[in-house]
Chains A and B, each alone.
Chain A
Amino acid sequence: MTVLYAALPSLTNLAGSEEVAKIPVVAPGAADGIFALMWLVIALPLLGAVILLVGGPLMKGRMESWGHLLATALPVGSFGISVAMLVSLLDRSEEERQVGQHLFTWFQTGSFEVGLDLLYDPLAALFLLLITGVGSLIHVYSIGYMEHDPRRRRFFGYLNLFVAAMLTLILAGNYVVMFLGWEGVGLASYLLIGFWQHKHSAAAASKKAFVINRVGDIGLALAIALLFVTFGTSSFAGISAASGEATESTLTVVGLLLLLGACGKSAQVPLQAWLLDAMEGPTPVSALIHAATMVTAGVYLVVRSNFIFERAPHAQTVVVIVAVVTLLWGAVIGCARDDIKKVLAGSTMSQIGYMMLAAGLGVAGYPFAIFHLLTHGFFKANMFLGAGSVMHAMDDDVNMRHYGALSKATPITFATFAMGYLAIIGFPGFSGFWSKDKIIETALAENWIVGLCALIGAGVTGFYMTRLMLMTFFTKKRWAQGVHPHESPAVMTGPLIALAALSVLGGVLLLGDWIVEFLAPVTGVASEHEPPLPAIVITLLAVGVVAIGVAAAWFLVGRHEVPREAPQDVSFAVRAARADLYGDAINDSLVVGPGKSLVGGLTTMDEHGVDGGVEGGASFMAGLSGRLRRVQNGFVRSYALSVLAGALLIVLALLVVNFS
């Protein structure tokens, strides 16, 4: 804290530039009252993970009957604490809505001290509710979904581990603790993508996700190191107070490195290739980790680091470019895939692109990035769980070409999925409508090209989601032989209904600009920007573009017979989209291929150059000694001769020395 107060005067000196003065400083107060239980939010799921993963094997199978219930109860407990903390946070005045808790000194070397610090503020409060709330619902759903899996206890242990790591990431009070959570969610994601490791594709997908995430993590680690070198601290409070003193170029580099980390975790171009393969994991995992929470960590990172990005406009521009490319990239992939989960994964990429876009737009965009993140967490988790319910009904078939007319067979799944569908395309009144509309509006106000791309993305979203709906729930039956679709049990449909309700009602957060004002202590207050068009025109425009997308899907998919096999005589664009816009091919040719040649070259050099040199020297010496040992012939007289020769040599040498 002392660092902060020492830095405050210098910050006010900088107030000459108005933009800088508006960036709020992280200055948490002491954790008293209910906030003293902050650590428990993380500790509960962590305890669950330890009990299930360590205790389970020790109990030799006696935990199988109740382990998953314990694992579900603990995140619910965390949710309860989160709600209680939010309630008492709302009681406080705006200036006091930041609470810090120092648990203990984690490590210390020289002047580098890192404490296990937690920070609870409006931003963390919303995330906490999303993670523990949606996380609890997905735990409940998993009880039904994983009922017949012999390794259910382990699955729930991993889920709890993920929740604990994600909460650490969110509640961290400095970058190092956040990195701990960041790596923790990476590990949990790896374990859960490869949960069915007997499938080669799942094992490969988990490795791919891990390796690509490493690339991003290097960026984050370097950013943290650079921040420490520049500011001498890694805490949000210290850096936000002192960030005005650093040069813009330093902050730009930090911002770009942070963006690299965010790209890895949030599957943004160019590190997007892992997300579609990550769908190999069980569907609840896809819903929780690869849609609702973990993949949005990159957005959180950018918003949390607003005190860096606000002072590094070039880094912000790069964030916007990456976001726009990703939101179109993901949407195009979603249009062509037949695997229901991969369509949703492409859609996730695209929606995170929207969030990144809002986060890159600065103070005006931060609250809407978080708003869209929350509504997306609701409706995308809803749809992923719905997709899981459909797969449950269709004997784990994921190909939409084998679906059709499921609205009758699985009415609850259909009804809840429809709510998510209407939310994501931005049907007026649903949660996605409010959040996406705000992002498009902000983008148009900032730059009309970016805004136009966001509008086009909304139209494409309407197209691919309608295509998914039509192929799954409408059109004619194309079921495989012997498949008898049935509705899922109540333990699975319950969470679906809850999430559907949230998808519909999520928009209330925007009532009276509540979320904007609530987040203001973290993100700052935006200066009034006059949009190029009246807000109502932009809204009508967005709805119109979506309507065009929906209509296009109806004319191209809904009116025709959907073939059971994907047609092969398609245009280049469709082929490219089916191949994920050649993301893997680009990675192969740019990274994997050169890497392999480099390794091959190094191996050849090692085998022939280094090994050749060493082994050649050794065999030369061996040959030489083979010759030399012939001197030891066993004849005493030859030894005597060599002794005599040696003696004569010495005498001669002495004579030479003496006479010269």
Chain B
Amino acid sequence: MNEYIILSAILFSIGAIGVLVRRNALVVFMCVELMLNSCNLALVTFAKQHGNLDGQVAAFFVMVVAAAEVVIGLAIIMTIFRSRRSASVDDASLLKY
């Protein structure tokens, strides 16, 4: 089972680093999805390990939330791109001190 957990950790780290270092909103978004899915992998692994369905149910919830999030997130990214001709997250930094 350790392999699955290690894979999940690797995927999560890639996603996290991607969120931190990439500027393109779409890539950041994909990295977020990668993190979510690495979590799903971990959940399913644990479910298997414990021999019950709790983790799998949680994984389904995550998928549903991720789907809803994608819809809204992409819509926001589209709108920002239309008004600014840019999809860089650093450009959308007006809301500050």
* A residues at B contact (CB < 8 Å): 629-630, 632-637, 640-641, 644
The CA of A96 and the CA of B97, in the complex, are separated in Å by: 92
Contact of B96 among A632, A637, A644 (CB under 8 A): A632
Is the pair B97, A644 in contact by a Cβ cutoff of 8 Å? no
Using an 8 Å CB-CB cutoff, how does the interface string of B52-92 with A read, 1 for contact, 0 for none? 00000000000000000000000000000000000001101
Contact of A635 among B16, B19, B21, B93 (CB under 8 A): B93
The CA of A630 and the CA of B90, in the complex, are separated in Å by: 16
Most A CB within 10 A of own CB, among B16, B20, B90, B97: B97
Is the pair B19, A637 in contact by a Cβ cutoff of 8 Å? yes
The CA of A206 and the CA of B19, in the complex, are separated in Å by: 83
Is the pair B20, A634 in contact by a Cβ cutoff of 8 Å? no
The CA of A633 and the CA of B93, in the complex, are separated in Å by: 7
The CA of A658 and the CA of B21, in the complex, are separated in Å by: 32
The interface residues of chain A lying within 8 Å CB-to-CB of B95 are 634
Given A640-B19, A644-B16; A633-B96 close (CB under 8 Å)? yes
Using an 8 Å CB-CB cutoff, how does the interface string of B9-36 with A read, 1 for contact, 0 for none? 0000000100111010000100000000
17 more A-B residue pairs beyond the given contacts A634-B95, A635-B89, with a C-beta to C-beta distance below 8 A = A629-B97, A630-B97, A633-B93, A633-B96, A634-B96, A635-B93, A636-B28, A636-B89, A636-B90, A636-B93, A637-B20, A637-B21, A637-B28, A637-B90, A640-B19, A640-B20, A644-B16
The interface residues of chain B lying within 8 Å CB-to-CB of A632 are 96-97
The interface residues of chain B lying within 8 Å CB-to-CB of A635 are 89-90, 93
Is the pair B89, A633 in contact by a Cβ cutoff of 8 Å? no
Give the shortest distance, in Å, between B40 (CB) and chain A (any CB): 18
Instruction: Considering the complex, give the chain B residue whose CB is closest to the CB of A633.
Output: B96
The CA of A634 and the CA of B88, in the complex, are separated in Å by: 13
Contact of A637 among B89, B94, B97 (CB under 8 A): B89
In terms of DSSP, what is the predominant structure of the interface of chain B?
loop
Instruction: Considering the complex, give the chain A residue whose CB is closest to the CB of B92.
Output: A636
Instruction: Considering the complex, give the chain A residue whose CB is closest to the CB of B25.
Output: A636
- 27 A-B pairs (CB sep. < 8 Å): A629-B97, A632-B96, A632-B97, A633-B93, A633-B96, A633-B97, A634-B93, A634-B94, A634-B95, A634-B97, A635-B89, A635-B93, A636-B28, A636-B89, A636-B90, A636-B92, A636-B93, A637-B19, A637-B20, A637-B21, A637-B23, A637-B28, A637-B89, A640-B19, A640-B20, A641-B20, A644-B20
The CA of A640 and the CA of B25, in the complex, are separated in Å by: 13
The CA of A644 and the CA of B96, in the complex, are separated in Å by: 20
The CA of A644 and the CA of B21, in the complex, are separated in Å by: 13
The CA of A635 and the CA of B92, in the complex, are separated in Å by: 8
Instruction: Considering the complex, give the chain B residue whose CB is closest to the CB of A647.
Output: B16
The interface residues of chain A lying within 8 Å CB-to-CB of B23 are 637
Give the shortest distance, in Å, between B23 (CB) and chain A (any CB): 8
Closest CB pairs A-B (n = 8): A634-B96, A634-B93, A629-B97, A632-B97, A636-B89, A635-B93, A640-B19, A633-B96
The interface residues of chain A lying within 8 Å CB-to-CB of B19 are 637, 640
The CA of A147 and the CA of B94, in the complex, are separated in Å by: 82
The CA of A644 and the CA of B12, in the complex, are separated in Å by: 12
Instruction: Considering the complex, give the chain B residue whose CB is closest to the CB of A640.
Output: B19
The CA of A247 and the CA of B62, in the complex, are separated in Å by: 91
Give the shortest distance, in Å, between B73 (CB) and chain A (any CB): 12
The interface residues of chain B lying within 8 Å CB-to-CB of A636 are 28, 89-90, 92-93
Give the shortest distance, in Å, between A228 (CB) and chain B (any CB): 66
Instruction: Considering the complex, give the chain A residue whose CB is closest to the CB of B96.
Output: A634
The CA of A635 and the CA of B19, in the complex, are separated in Å by: 12
Give the shortest distance, in Å, between B18 (CB) and chain A (any CB): 10
Most A CB within 10 A of own CB, among B19, B23, B28, B92: B19
The interface residues of chain B lying within 8 Å CB-to-CB of A634 are 93-97
Instruction: Considering the complex, give the chain A residue whose CB is closest to the CB of B90.
Output: A635
The CA of A636 and the CA of B93, in the complex, are separated in Å by: 7
